[in-house]
């Protein structure tokens, strides 16, 4: 796929070569993005060398962090995490000097990070011996090379969503994390939505009975941001939309997988995926290219269809529907529906609703349920984050995902989302691309736990052994 090769080159990542990508995408075949390779790599057998699910790394009293990528998300990340006690931000890195310097300025009076602006400087950061956690906020294609290099150099990794783009990359994350025993957590903030956490806990306590069907989505009309040349670096997200499938599955699938106990009691078996045609990119690009030559390069490209719908069956026979639409004028929705033999919950359209039969419960009845089932982590952090203010936390779910990661690292606790979740929730991207291109044919979903899903324990919702990190 030539656009990906150009991207790797311009991003200065070409030097990583085949050893990092585990394929030879930038110097020949097989191309990890090709349909044939997606199918072949999805069938490959792997062996687990160490189980990172439930793994507790040695405690780190003060977590020393390097932030790579200080764009839109990276900037809000810095604003947010500076409120977490017992961290030290040692380095900020962005190829756009003004962004890297801006990141340092944001932290003035709290931390004095070193600033890096070279295209390969993230490697120098990973090679430092005074950093515990590398936090990656860069464009999608850079996540895996950076995460692998960081783990190889003894650093835990926190990576923005989605963690990976190809099946090979997903396995590389898993195998490197197992071999190095470094955590690789994808920061799926939506798992910490209040309604999501509430319903995950309710599902675990049997409120819904046997779970039958779940739905999740990322339906967000953020189309115009894809064409903002002054915003996202190098129009990377527009370029990434040249694949057709579910390119952003993790906000939708993460919470419902947690509700079903996927990777911990159940596993995703196979998927089928269908995309509508593109009704928005082509006209928009024609309009822009008429006055702006920067957009002419896209006129011969085909783009993702507006809406992708992916259906998944789990090994225990539950069904799942995951949607993605970033380009149609629709109200925001992550759906978040859980349906069982006794009851149902559905978050969107807001407000979230719960039913034990044909009728949705009243507001008062839902308040009672919330009092009974809201997990400890939400009660604990919910109070703390509200003192930070929206301007700094960006969204409360991200505040919680950051706080929880640091608290787990400080207290030597296993992570709520491990490398197997990062790989599984991300692998929907290449597999949906393959299925869409093959008239919605089914494709098996790799078991990144190599069978351990049968015995892996649920992650902890109680805050046992943790909860000691303050928000300041």
Ligand X SMILES: NC(=O)c1ccc[n+]([C@@H]2O[C@H](COP(=O)([O-])OP(=O)(O)OC[C@H]3O[C@@H](n4cnc5c(N)ncnc54)[C@H](O)[C@@H]3O)[C@@H](O)[C@H]2O)c1
**Binding stretches for ligand X (CB under 6 A):** 11-12, 68-74, 93-96, 99, 119, 122, 137-140, 160-161, 189, 232-233, 236
- Give least dist CB 40 to ligand X, A: 26
The C-alpha angle 423, 424, 426, rounded to 5 degrees, equals: 65
Q: How many CB atoms lie within 10 A of CB 210?
A: 11
CA 210 to chain centre: 27
Structure tokens at 236: 């990377």
Rank residues 68 and 422 by Cβ distance to ligand X and give the closer one.
Answer: 68
CB 184 within 8 A of CB 147: yes
| CA atoms within a 13 Å half-sphere pointing along the CA-CB vector of 247 | 21
CB 23 within 8 A of CB 32: yes
CB 184 within 8 A of CB 57: no
How far apart, in whole angstroms, are the C-alpha atoms of residue 245 and residue 331? 21
Is the backbone peptide bond immediately before 94 cis, with ω within 30 degrees of 0? no
- Give least dist CB 409 to ligand X, A: 19
- Give least dist CB 144 to ligand X, A: 11
Rank residues 163 and 413 by Cβ distance to ligand X and give the closer one.
Answer: 163
Rank residues 121 and 178 by Cβ distance to ligand X and give the closer one.
Answer: 121
Looking at 332-388, list the stretches that DSSP marks H as alpha helix, in order from N- to C-terminal side.
363-373, 376-385
User: Checking DSSP bridges between strand 211-219 and strand 308-314, what pairing results, if any?
Assistant: unpaired
Rank residues 121 and 447 by Cβ distance to ligand X and give the closer one.
Answer: 121
The DSSP code sequence of 378-440 is HHHHHHHHTTT-HHHHSSHHHHHHHHHHHHHHHHT---SS-HHHHHHHHHHHHHHHHHHHTTT
- Give least dist CB 172 to ligand X, A: 17
- Closest-CB residue for ligand X? 71
How far apart, in whole angstroms, are the C-alpha atoms of residue 181 and residue 177? 5
- Give least dist CB 441 to ligand X, A: 28
| CA atoms within a 13 Å half-sphere pointing along the CA-CB vector of 200 | 27
- Give least dist CB 230 to ligand X, A: 10
- Give least dist CB 11 to ligand X, A: 5
- Give least dist CB 406 to ligand X, A: 17
How far apart, in whole angstroms, are the C-alpha atoms of residue 323 and residue 311? 9
- Give least dist CB 165 to ligand X, A: 10
- Work out the end-to-end distance of the chain between its first and last CA atoms, rounded to an integer number of angstroms: 47
DSSP 226: G
- Give least dist CB 401 to ligand X, A: 8
- Backbone conformation region of residue 350, classed left if phi is above 0, alpha if psi is from -120 to 50, else beta: beta
């Amino acid at each position: 796929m030539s656009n990906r090769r150009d991207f790797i080159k311009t991003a200065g990542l070409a030097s990583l070569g085949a050893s990092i990508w585990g394929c030879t995408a930038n110097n020949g075949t097989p191309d990890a993005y090709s349909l044939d390779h997606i199918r072949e790599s999805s069938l490959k057998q792997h062996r687990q060398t160490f189980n990172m699910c439930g793994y507790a790394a040695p405690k780190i009293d003060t977590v020393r962090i390097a932030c790579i990528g200080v764009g839109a998300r990276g900037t809000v990340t810095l604003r947010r995490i500076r409120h977490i006690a017992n961290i030290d931000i040692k380095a900020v890195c962005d190829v756009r000097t003004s962004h890297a310097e801006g990141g340092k300025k944001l932290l003035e009076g709290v931390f004095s990070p070193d600033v890096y602006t070279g295209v390969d400087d993230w490697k120098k950061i990973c090679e430092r011996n005074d950093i515990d956690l590398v936090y990656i906020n860069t464009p999608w294609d850079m996540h895996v090379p950076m995460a692998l290099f960081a783990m190889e150099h003894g650093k835990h990794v926190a990576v923005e969503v989605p963690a990976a783009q190809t099946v090979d990359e997903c396995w590389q994350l898993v195998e490197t994390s197992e071999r190095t025993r470094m955590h690789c957590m994808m920061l799926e903030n939506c798992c910490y939505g209040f309604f999501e956490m509430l319903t995950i806990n309710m599902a675990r306590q049997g409120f819904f009975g046997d779970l039958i069907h779940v739905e999740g989505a990322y339906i967000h009309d953020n189309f115009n941001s894809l064409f903002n040349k002054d915003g996202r670096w190098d129009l990377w997200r527009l370029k990434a939309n040249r694949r057709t499938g579910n390119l952003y599955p993790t906000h939708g699938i993460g919470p419902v997988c947690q509700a079903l106990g996927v990777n911990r009691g159940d596993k995703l078996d196979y998927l089928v995926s269908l995309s509508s045609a593109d009704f928005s990119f082509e006209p928009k690009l024609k309009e822009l290219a008429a006055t702006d030559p920067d957009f002419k390069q896209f006129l011969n490209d085909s783009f993702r269809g507006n809406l992708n719908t992916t259906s998944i069956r789990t090994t225990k026979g539950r069904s799942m529907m995951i949607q993605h639409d970033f380009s149609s004028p629709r109200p925001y929705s992550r759906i978040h529906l859980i349906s069982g033999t006794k009851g149902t919950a559905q978050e969107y359209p807001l407000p979230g609703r719960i039913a034990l039969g044909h009728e949705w419960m009243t507001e008062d009845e839902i308040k009672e349920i919330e009092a009974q089932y809201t997990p400890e982590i939400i009660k604990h952090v919910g109070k703390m984050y509200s003192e930070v203010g929206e301007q700094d936390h960006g969204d409360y779910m991200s505040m919680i995902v950051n706080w929880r990661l640091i608290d787990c690292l400080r207290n030597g606790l296993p992570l709520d989302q491990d490398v197997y979740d990062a790989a599984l929730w991300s692998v929907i991207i290449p597999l949906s691309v393959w299925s869409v291109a093959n008239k919605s044919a089914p494709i098996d979903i790799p078991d990144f736990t190599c069978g351990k899903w049968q015995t892996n324990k649920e992650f902890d919702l109680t805050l046992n052994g943790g909860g000691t990190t303050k928000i300041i």
